[in-house]
Structure 1
Amino acid sequence: MLDPTQVLAYIIALGLAAAIPGPGMTALVARSVSGGALTAFTMLAGLILGDLIYLSFAVFGLAVVAHSHSEWFLLVRWCSALYLCWLAWQFWRHEPQTLFIEQKISKRELVSAWFSGLTITLGNPKTIAFYLALLPLVIALDTISLQTWGLMLVPLTIFVLLIVGAVFILGALKIRHWLASPRAQHVLFKGAAVMMVLAALGMVAK
């Protein structure tokens, strides 16, 4: 099991890494403005799942497997980069529009939000760097058991990311009327597009 010092270090490191503006949180804010709370929290669920996948990679030493099957992971990186570019194109082409706060959200939109969140995380160089490079400096991964992973690290990761994501979502919703103006939408979605492109370039470069 992790001692209190390691738990605290992990919470602080993960919280800071998540709070630093990047493609994930930028897209989350944009989705909060355009789709509302339900869509945003659905996207957050996808973002969190992506983090849990990389956490599992780090804990169970699958980074070694990645090096052993480099062709497969190269394909995954390119697919992630292409999808991020597609998202960037969608954000860039977004036309400012009147937002209806009480509009109904379709299941298709929720699935799209969830999948976008998952893919953005899997293609986010910042997330990869945290779990595969920085995490081993915070926690001695060779001492982590399946029980510790399932009963401590997974719940802690979900809790921290949920708190940080909720702050971004609720903050965006609080000023949604301001962000919904044509000028604010233009800046927000163009900024999100740039973030997606940078993340895609980071995936390819890595």
Structure 2
Amino acid sequence: MSLYGLLIFAAVYFLAVASPGPGVAAIVARSLARGTRGAPAFIAGFLVGDLIWFAFAATGLAALAQTAYPVFVAFKYAGAAYLLYLAYRLWTAPPQPVDESAATDGDGRPLQLFFGSLALTLANPKTMIFFLALLPTLIQLESLTVAGFVEVALVICVVLPLVLGTYAFAAAKARRLFSSVRAIRNLNRGSGIAMASAAVAVATR
């Protein structure tokens, strides 16, 4: 794959990842309420989900993915249910500073976070549209070599963690501006509402 084509893909993919959607809402809401603890596992689920969608598109399995619609419906509702669970945890979380909250974070188990964000990514309409509809206009998938496949996968592995990691870091830093108990409680509840809104967006699309 040419360097120019790879840069074009990287730029478009960067914009797609950075644009608002359920995934961005989830990572920002959780980081506002919990800080960066658990963020690597949470972001890893999004990354693996994008790589799975890319593999479907690049290997000609997009049609198979579309015929397996009931499976993706199940993922959609699983992802929405997980977001609602996180929303409930954020709404009911005690108003603690970031460090204390991280120490008692009951929904911060890495595997739980990983599989939750993976289910969300596999069910995210924005991700499906990018890889099944937009990607073929950027890359000639029928002539993509193994080397080209690896190059694109590497771009995904760099861009997505960079973008979502920046969101998580910025949100965690913003949380530190809230020092009073009341402000932190309102922040937690606001984050819970944002998470619940993301769940509704996933479930209704």
TM-score (norm 2): 0.87
Answering whether residue 32 of structure 2 is matched by residue 33 of structure 1, we say yes
| Structure 2 stretches lacking a partner, 5+ long | none
Q: 1:88 to 1:15 in 2, by over 3 A?
A: same
Q: 1:106 to 1:190 in 2, by over 3 A?
A: closer
Match of 2:121 in 1: 121
1:90-139 deviation digits (Å, cap 9, x = unpaired): 24432242234334367971111111111111010000000000011111
| Structure 1 stretches lacking a partner, 5+ long | none
Instruction: Percent identity, please.
Output: 28
**Matched-pair contact (CA < 8 Å) for 2:42–2:117:** yes
Match of 1:99 in 2: 96
Q: 1:82 aligns with which of 65, 74, 77?
A: 77
What CA distance in whole angstroms lies between the structure 2 residues aligned with 1:87 and 1:124? 13
Match of 1:133 in 2: 133
Does 170-179 or 37-46 show the bigger shift?
A: 170-179
Coordinate RMSD, CA, aligned: 2.0
Answering whether residue 79 of structure 2 is matched by residue 60 of structure 1, we say no
What CA distance in whole angstroms lies between the structure 1 residues aligned with 2:108 and 2:37? 13
Structure 2 residue matching 1:61: 3-state secondary structure:
coil
**Matched-pair contact (CA < 8 Å) for 2:14–2:160:** yes
Does 188-197 or 93-102 show the bigger shift?
A: 93-102
CA drift of 1:154 comes to 1.0
What CA distance in whole angstroms lies between the structure 1 residues aligned with 2:177 and 2:117? 24
**Matched-pair contact (CA < 8 Å) for 2:50–2:127:** yes
What CA distance in whole angstroms lies between the structure 2 residues aligned with 1:38 and 1:91? 14
CA drift of 1:149 comes to 0.9
What CA distance in whole angstroms lies between the structure 2 residues aligned with 1:157 and 1:16? 12
What CA distance in whole angstroms lies between the structure 1 residues aligned with 2:111 and 2:23? 16
TM-score (norm 1): 0.86
Q: 1:178 to 1:189 in 2, by over 3 A?
A: farther
Match of 1:155 in 2: 154
What CA distance in whole angstroms lies between the structure 2 residues aligned with 1:166 and 1:140? 30
Q: 1:46 to 1:88 in 2, by over 3 A?
A: closer
CA drift of 1:36 comes to 2.9
Q: 1:149 to 1:99 in 2, by over 3 A?
A: farther
| Residue identity opposite 1:199 in structure 2 | V
| Residue identity opposite 1:85 in structure 2 | A
